[in-house]
Structure 1
Amino acid sequence: MAYDAMYRRCCRYRGSIVRLNCRGRVHVGRVTRVTRSHVWIRPVGGPRGLGYGFGFGFGGFGIPFALGAITGIALASVFFW
């Protein structure tokens, strides 16, 4: 996916829970911040379905991912039904 298209999609999903594919790994979390170079997600669905990553150990915005390293992003609700 083109870099600009990925940036626009991440901006559109801000505040939503997404499934992010990044270099062979899958991450599920809420998009908290988007810049031209990174997208931050706050992980959800920790052990036994409990959320984690509410600012402790992940910084205020969550975990940053470089837009160039993302191979796919989709709304997570599609995968949970």
Structure 2
Amino acid sequence: MSGPDMYHVCRRYVGRPVRLTLRGGRSHVGEVTRVSRSHVWVRPLGNQRGFNYGFYGYPYGGFGVPFALGAITGVALAAAFFW
């Protein structure tokens, strides 16, 4: 999926819990809080490992952890994984 397509997919899920799959196979579960043309910000759900919290408060000033749209290979609603 190309960058512009992934932008529209991520915009659809703002405020909802999702599972992001990245290149290299890593996946992260969290709530999409913000989307720009180059990044999507995800606030982690629960106690997850693998998120980098940085130096700017609860993660990155409250928006969550930024992921480059070009690094994302898949987006799915997280609710489908918690039944």
Give yes or no for TM over 0.5: yes
Q: Which runs of 5+ in 1 are unaligned?
A: 48-52
State the partner residue of 2:9.
9
The TM-score with structure 1 as length reference comes to 0.84
Once the two structures are superposed, what CA deviation does each residue of 1:40-70 show, in whole Å capped at 9, x if it has no partner?
00000216xxxxx8x5243220000000000
Q: Give every structure 1 segment of 4 or more consecutive aligned residues whose post-TM-superposition deviation is greater than 6 Å.
A: none
Q: Distance in 2 between matches of 1:58 and 1:42?
A: 9
Q: Which runs of 5+ in 2 are unaligned?
A: none
The percentage of counterpart residues that share the same residue type is: 64
State the partner residue of 1:50.
none
State the partner residue of 2:20.
20
- 2:43 equivalent to 1:42: yes
Count matched residues. 75
Once the two structures are superposed, what CA deviation does each residue of 1:21-48 show, in whole Å capped at 9, x if it has no partner?
112211000000000000000000216x
Please provide the CA RMSD for this pair: 1.6
